[in-house]
Amino acid sequence: MRNYQILTDNMADLPEEWLKEHQIETISLTYTIDDQTYDSSNGLSPEEFYERIRKGAMPVTSQINEKTAETEFKKILENGKDVLYLAFSSGLSGTYQSAMSAKKILDSKGHDGKIVVIDTLSASLGEGLLVYYADKNQRAGMSLEENAAWIEEHKLHLVHLFTVNDLFHLQRGGRVSKAAAVFGSMLSVKPVMHMDDEGHLTVTGKARGRKKSLQCLIENMHAQIGDYKNEVFFISHSDCYEEAKEVAEQIQKEFGIPAYLINWVGPTIGAHTGIGTVALFFLGDRR
């Protein structure tokens, strides 16, 4: 049986040191800010990226194209491994479609290996948590087919809950109306959002004030976790680590989950959410 390489993209927001330790390879979506384009190899640090946003910069992002995906798949195949690619949600990007086009091109040319592309319908550390479990499954001896089936079975149980501090970035991306952004900011209304079963970001509720919006994340976790016994949960943040840490500590206290990971919302997603995002990810009965 051929070995297989787990591949994801930088939208999974996993720490670079974790990726290296677990030998997970990534493809990079790009972002442009102040007329300069960056990817994972030459990107700004999160601190510098969010500082530029504070100063008024408005970044734009680009999906992974077919040629980039084809090149990465081919490299892995030529190294004698099959490919398991966990892709950024098709509800937010054309990256999954580009990867599927690349797979079809390579399959049509003929090769000895196998390419499996999964639309995770997830983003940020939600996608990252699926990568975490895929790596765990591989290390436990799951075949490519078994691992892919496990991810497909569980991906709609990967709960994404998040809130943002500034509605204007979501308005710019079409997530909320301009009127809602203006009045919400005036009234200190914070949206509570999630990722639906089609991989789209949707508003599920509103909270008056930042503290209440963060508490809503925990309240919703109680409502959605069901019978799942999580061994770990992930939290991502856009330059508000202390608030993310407070949420994590409260979750550990209330749920007794033994481990968690906190990391930055990367620039490519942060371009759309702005500063002050806190996002929570775990396995639950429903999204």
Return the axis-axis angle of helices 66-78 and 95-109, rounded to nearest 10°.
Answer: 50
Q: Would you state the pLDDT for residue 177? A: 61
- Match domain 4-155 to its CATH number in 3.40.50.10170, 2.170.190.11, 3.40.50.300, 3.30.450.20: 3.40.50.10170
Q: Would you state the pLDDT for residue 43? A: 86
Q: Would you state the pLDDT for residue 184? A: 55
Decide: 126 and 195 in contact? Cβ < 8 Å: yes
Fold of 157-283: Hypothetical Protein Tm841; Chain: A;domain 3 (3.30.1180)
- CA 256 → CA 218, 220, 233, 252, 281, distances in Å? 13, 16, 11, 5, 15
Q: Would you state the pLDDT for residue 205? A: 84
Name the nearest CA neighbour of 263 among 89, 129, 166.
129
Cross-strand bridge partners of residue 207: 190
Q: Which residues of 213-251 are buried (b: 16+ CB within 10 A; e: fewer)?
A: bbbbbbebbeebbeeeebebbbbbbbbbeebbeebbeeb
Longest CA span, the chain? 60
Q: Are strands 158-163 and 30-33 parallel, antiparallel or unpaired?
A: unpaired
Number of CB atoms found within 10 A of residue 208's CB: 11
Name the nearest CA neighbour of 118 among 132, 106, 126, 130.
130
Q: Would you state the pLDDT for residue 176? A: 58
Q: Which residues of 163-173 are buried (b: 16+ CB within 10 A; e: fewer)?
A: bbbbbebbbee
Return the axis-axis angle of helices 144-154 and 124-139, rounded to nearest 10°.
Answer: 140
Nearest-angstrom CA–CA distance, 212 and 210: 5
pLDDT < 70 regions, the chain = 1, 167-187
Where in the chain are the domains? Answer: 4-155, 157-283
Nearest-angstrom CA–CA distance, 147 and 133: 9
Q: Would you state the pLDDT for residue 115? A: 98
